[in-house]
């Protein structure tokens, strides 16, 4: 088993994993509470896309090194990223908590979600 890539893959994976969370929290904190719900959701969507793109880069990095070395540990790291990616899927509860929406905005968001 060739472990030449082990430290870089684990390091890059950890950095993208942590960086994804930090970027998401930083971008969400920058969303003003004074914005309309629509504008908040647009900014939240942008923050989520950026966060998931950072997370995806760690997954691609692990996959590339799996293809180069055939080390199943790298494939396992990539699968972990894919599973975590699926768990990061936004839903109304996560959006409400992340954006700290007021009761009116919560009601609008929940009613819109049930319409779709």
Has residue 67 been placed in a domain?
Answer: yes
Is 89 a residue whose pLDDT tops 60? yes
pTM: 0.84
Has residue 46 been placed in a domain?
Answer: yes
Has residue 103 been placed in a domain?
Answer: no
Residues 55-74: tens digit of each pLDDT: 999 999 999 999 998 889 99
Question: What average pLDDT does this structure show over 79-93?
Answer: 90
Band (2; pLDDT cuts 50, 70, 90): low
Specify the number of domains making up the chain: 1
Has residue 113 been placed in a domain?
Answer: no
**Phi and psi for 57 in degrees, rounded to 5?**
-65, -35
Domain around 77: 6-90
Mean of the per-residue pLDDT values for the chain?
89
């Amino acid at each position: 088993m060739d472990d030449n890539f082990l430290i870089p893959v684990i390091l890059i994976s950890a950095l993208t994993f942590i960086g994804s969370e930090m970027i998401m929290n930083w971008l969400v904190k920058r969303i003003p509470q004074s914005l309309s719900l629509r504008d908040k959701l647009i900014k939240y969507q942008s923050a989520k896309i950026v966060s998931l793109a950072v997370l995806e880069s760690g997954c691609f990095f692990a996959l590339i090194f799996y293809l180069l070395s055939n080390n199943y540990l790298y494939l396992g790291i990539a699968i972990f990223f894919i599973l975590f990616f699926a768990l990061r899927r936004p839903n109304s509860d996560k959006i409400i908590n992340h954006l700290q929406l007021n009761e009116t905005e919560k009601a609008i968001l929940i009613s819109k979600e049930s319409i779709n």
